[in-house]
Each structure stands twice: as C-alpha cells, then as structure tokens.
C-alpha cells in the first residue's frame, strides 16, 4: 500500500470519527487562506493558554511550599483540594463559552494534579493508621467518578485521558490489595490499555491513542517477559512480540510497531548473549530466516492480490 493510500485511509477514518461530511472537507479545501489564518490564531491562543496555566500552577506550588509549615490542617486541605476543585469548576465554566473553551485543558490538568494531592493531604491530616493502599484506592475512586462522569457528559479528550489514568491506578491498587501476582496485574492492565487505545483510535479522541498504545504494550511485554524468563515457555515471548507486530499493522499504530520491534530485537539480542554468544551459525541462521520471512511476505501479498481480492 502506498503512502498516498495510507493518507487517504487516515483522512477517511478522521472524517468518520469526527462526523465530518464531504461538503465540509470541500469547503475547507477551497478556503485555505482563511483556514490557515484561523489555525495560526488558534495555535497562538492555545500556546498562551498553556503557558498561563503553567505559571499559575507554578505560583500556587511555590506559595504553598513557602508557607506550608505555618498552615493548620484545614488550611492545607483548602489550599490543595479546595484549589483543585475550584480549578475543576472553572474548567467546566469555560466549556460553556466557545471563546474560553481552550483554557479548559490546562485547568483540567492542574485540577487533576491538585485534587489527588489534596485528598492525600486530607487523609494524612485527619486519618491515622491503616493500609496506605486504602487511601490510594479512595483517591482513585473519587477522581475516576468525577472525571468519568464529566467525560460522559462533555466528551473532552483531556477528561478521557485523566479517566484512564485514575482508572488504571484504581484497578492496579485493587488487584494488589487482592494479592494478585504483579506479573498478572501488568498483563491484564497492559491488555486492557491496548483495547482502550484501539477504541480511542477509532474515535474523536485519537490524539491520545498513541500514548496508551505505548503504555499498554510496554506493560504487557515487560510483564510477559518477567513471567516466562528462564522457564520452558521462554520462546513464547518471541511469539508474543511477533503477534504485537502483526497487531500494529492491523490497528495501524506506529507506536505499537516501534515498541514491538524494539522488544523483539532486544529479546533476540538477550537470547543470543545467553545461548549463542560465540556461535557463528546463529547470526547466519537469523539472516537466512529473515530473508525467508521477507520472501514469504512477498509471496503472501501476491497470492492475496491474485486470488483472495478477486474472489472478494
């Protein structure tokens, strides 16, 4: 498939996921100067919004750090949890006015950092003893409910991202409290994140899909490697990496392809060092095997184009 065909498929996918009609695409193509000017002003607005958010967040953090020892328990909770919740409300308010909608993303991000911190501060000030994991579970539950419900209502990509983060923390902590093997936890969380990334990639929130493809694939591959290392199922890791490469072509994810390729190359290097460090036949076997796979791939494409596509 050529680069042009790949680009056309991506355009079709983006248009379908965002409900863009052919007439709207045509109108955008015929009005390029105005569109470019609008895009330029939008980038500028977003840039200043992010910079402003960073300065506000830095100012709050510096102020709290400077006078933390002078505050009582209630003030500490108010400055962290209270400020975070206020920023969350401000982010919701900005969504109601298109002129200030771009400010919602930095506000949501600052809120996502301050509210969990505030919850931990509240638990540290007013709760004593017990398992610290209960506090983490409580924080993740509150934030997941808040951000998940808001995402369901507003459909903002930032909220989708934060909901996945807090959901991952919740389930990872819960599984750990149930004394489930950490390798199994990593495998389950990684597989779940890959499924979520696939769903995101086929929606209007495709911008965050590569990040979750990366996190999910790394979590899955590392967990599987630790589970099969120095066991009779060790070579199964190579099959998992190969399957992930196939999966990357199916879901059209460069991130997944990169991680899977690096995982396979790393495993082959490690396996060579462990078992065939000074054997000349092993690299030759790898080269021959690689050439055979390339040949089989070309043959499969020809058979597909000659017989399968024609029958379809």
Distances (CA, A) of 125 to 103, 119, 168: 32, 10, 26
The reported pLDDT for the residue numbered 218 is 95
User: What pLDDT is attached to residue 8?
Assistant: 62
For the stretch 1-36, pLDDT in tens is: 455 665 566 666 666 666 666 666 666 656 655 555
- The closest of 141, 82, 84 to 113, measured between CA atoms, is 84
Side-chain-side CA neighbours of 268 within 13 Å: the count stands at 16
Q: What is the distance between the alpha carbons of residues 108 and 85, in angstroms, rounded to a whole number?
A: 10
Cα distance from N-terminal residue to C-terminal residue, the chain: 18
Confidence label for 101 from pLDDT (cuts 50, 70 and 90): confident
Pinpoint the alpha helices (H) of 155-253.
Answer: 157-177, 182-201, 209-228, 236-251
Number of structural domains the chain divides into: 1
Distances (CA, A) of 261 to 42, 161, 211, 221, 254: 37, 26, 17, 11, 10
Residue 312: pLDDT band by 50, 70, 90 thresholds?
A: very low
Q: DSSP for 88-151, please give it.
A: HHHHHHHTTSGGGGGGHHHHHHHHHHHHHHHHHHHHHHH--SS-HHHHHHHHHHHHHHHHHHHH
The string of pLDDT tens digits covering residues 235-292 is 888 888 888 888 888 888 888 888 888 888 787 777 777 666 566 666 666 677 666 6
Give the pLDDT band (50/70/90) at residue 307.
Answer: very low
Q: What is the model's pLDDT at position 148?
A: 94
Can you tell me the distance from the alpha carbon of 13 to that of 7, in angstroms, rounded to the nearest whole number? 10
Question: What pLDDT does 298 receive?
Answer: 58
Summarised one tens digit per residue, pLDDT across range 170-180 is: 999 999 999 99
Over the stretch 162-214, which tens digit does the pLDDT of each residue have? Answer: 999 999 999 999 999 999 999 999 999 999 999 999 999 888 888 899 999 99
Structural domain of 114: 3-311
- Between 142 and 300, whose confidence is greater? 142
User: CA dihedral in degrees (28, 29, 34, 39; nearest 10)?
Assistant: 70
- The per-residue pLDDT for 213 is 94
pLDDT at position 308 is: 43
pLDDT in tens, 107-144: 898 899 999 999 999 998 888 777 889 999 999 999 99
């Amino acid at each position: 498939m050529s680069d042009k065909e790949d680009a056309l498929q991506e355009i079709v996918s983006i248009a379908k996921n965002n409900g863009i009609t052919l007439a709207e695409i045509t109108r955008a193509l015929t009005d390029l100067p105005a569109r470019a000017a609008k895009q330029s002003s939008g980038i500028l607005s977003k840039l200043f919004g992010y910079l402003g958010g960073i300065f506000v967040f830095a100012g709050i953090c510096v102020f709290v750090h400077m006078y933390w020892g002078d505050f009582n328990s209630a003030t500490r909770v108010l400055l962290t949890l209270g400020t975070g919740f206020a920023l969350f409300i401000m982010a919701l308010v900005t969504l109601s006015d298109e002129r200030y909608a771009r400010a919602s993303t930095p506000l949501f991000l600052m809120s996502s950092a301050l509210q969990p911190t505030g919850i931990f501060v509240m638990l540290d000030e007013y709760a004593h003893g017990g398992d610290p994991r209960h506090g983490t579970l409580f924080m993740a539950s509150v934030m997941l409910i808040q951000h998940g419900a808001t995402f369901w209502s507003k459909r903002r990509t930032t909220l989708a991202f934060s909901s996945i983060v807090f959901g991952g923390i919740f389930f990872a902590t819960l599984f750990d409290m149930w004394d489930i093997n950490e390798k199994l936890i990593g495998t389950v969380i990684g597989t779940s994140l890959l499924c979520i990334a696939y769903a995101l990639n086929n929606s209007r929130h495709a911008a965050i899909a590569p990040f979750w493809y990366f996190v999910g694939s790394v979590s899955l591959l590392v967990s599987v490697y630790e589970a099969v290392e120095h066991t009779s199922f060790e070579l199964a890791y190579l099959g998992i990496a190969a399957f992930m490469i196939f999966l990357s072509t199916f879901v059209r994810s460069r991130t997944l392809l990169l991680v899977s390729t690096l995982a396979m190359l790393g495993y082959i290097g490690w396996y060579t060092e462990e078992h065939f460090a000074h054997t000349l036949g092993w690299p030759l076997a790898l080269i021959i095997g690689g050439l055979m796979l390339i040949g089989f791939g070309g043959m499969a494409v020809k058979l597909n184009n000659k017989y399968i596509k024609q029958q379809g």
